[in-house]
Amino acid sequence: MITGNSESLDKSHFEHYVIVTNKSHPSQFESMRFLVELNPTAVLDFDPESTKHGLQCHFSQQSTVSVHLPAQYKITEGVEDIANKLKLTRNTNWICCNGGVENEMPSDIDQWLMDKGASIRDVISFLCRKDVLPNKRFLVIFLLLSTVSEKMDPLVETFRTFWQELRGTDQILCLCDNENTFNSWRDLIESRCGIDISGRCIYELSFAEVNGTVLSLWSKNRRSSRFLPCGGGSKVLLRKEDEQSLNTLEILCVNQCEGGNEDKIVIEENFYKGGKVSWWNFYFSEQPGSMPFIKRDKLDYIMNTVIPDLCSLRKACVLLNLMHVPGCGGTTLAMHTLWAHRDRFRCAVLRSSNANFTDAAHQVVKLLMYDHNEQVPTVPVLLMIDDFDDMEKVFDLQQFIEKECGQKKIQSKSAQVILLNCMRSESSEVPESTDTVFIGKNLSEKEHRMFEENL
């Protein structure tokens, strides 16, 4: 919706973005980095305190802003005059739509309609001129940072004018972070305009998820930042200081390895000649023209049967044992399982089997709840543990995680943490069950053929 049906913002259908927003709160500012990256041509701001300690004040610390009043946009004849007014540069034209600048006091709704409504209509008509912004190549985003409650709220009138000027809603997108704000907005638009705006609204994501998802649509951000999944394809930004605080875990991100410059040939030759697998092996195997990574027969069974069954259990932390004979590729299969789930689960590897379990459990739950405003996580954690010498330690870690989830009062009807216990077994007589998968030395004919081809 925000790119006009392209897969990234590097090649977005939209050349310009116009933001319409209302009363903000400081707690929202950290999730507004995407606005700076969008570099909006204009922002119509209805928050009277925006320039002092609101969104405009925060935005101007990161980008160049030109503050205007709506009256400056009254249309006059002449294309040159129009271009001079808007100054289509990298600057964002911040239009204070209801006070907020010196000698300009905010108005109540009745006064606003009489004193300022006409000026806002001039602004919108101005922006929608084909000789100002390219026809159908700009998107208007209504960023609802607080509930729109009055039937004749200026924001509703602003929407109605854009809707009329653009002859529909194809160039309009509405963002809010809760269902109450959405319901109020939808009902007001239906009452005032007679249309259902639901299909052009995003409201089931938090602003942190909107922020991370939009940022990840630029290739430069995927190379420089790291992102965690939040379900449904949405993402949140994993801040460096937060990742450093999770020091017992090696976190596998959605965009792992993007932007790296490792030597593909050296890494692949090392692995297929008996070296230890790395995330780079999986990453390179997915690049165009590369041979696919050898998918063990048990991988599909783990992904399609075992893990879904474990996820359905109403237990905070569940266990999947991957038992394997030394040297048969058990660790590689476990890592492949994480790699295949990195966009659906929050995946990590416990760095050491000797880690303090209290710290480890705390950090696992912190990863689970990262950037969630409520106590209901949207995606589980898939945690790989390796080199544990006995099952008692595995059960101990499981209990510590369950206890931590209970203390944090996490609400869920399904498993929230899956422990993928990769454990060596000297015996090849390990019975498989609903929570145990065994990997032996012998390759199937299909696996053997693929390995020979890649080698």
**Tens-digit pLDDT profile for residues 307-360:** 999 999 999 999 999 988 887 788 999 999 999 999 999 999 999 999 999 999
- Cβ 77 vs Cβ 50: under 8 Å: no
Under-50 pLDDT residues of the chain: 77-79, 87-88
Can you give the pLDDT at residue 76?
Answer: 56
| DSSP category for residue 7 | S
Q: Which two tokens stand for residue 382?
A: 């898939």
Determine the Cα–Cα distance for residues 161 and 164; give it in Å rounded to an integer.
5
The β-bridge relationship of strands 42-45 and 16-21 is: parallel
Can you give the pLDDT at residue 390?
Answer: 87
The full DSSP string for 63-90 is S-EEEE-GGGG---S-HHHHHHHH--SS
Determine the Cα–Cα distance for residues 116 and 119; give it in Å rounded to an integer.
5
Domains of the chain are: 9-221 (3.40.50), 239-454 (3.40.50)
- Cβ 34 vs Cβ 84: under 8 Å: no
Determine the Cα–Cα distance for residues 64 and 67; give it in Å rounded to an integer.
10
Q: Which two tokens stand for residue 47?
A: 């928050």
Contacts of 164 (CB under 8 A, 6+ apart): none
Q: Which two tokens stand for residue 199?
A: 């299909």
Can you give the pLDDT at residue 79?
Answer: 47
Torsion angle of the four alpha carbons 264, 270, 271, 275, in this order, in degrees rounded to the nearest 10: -140
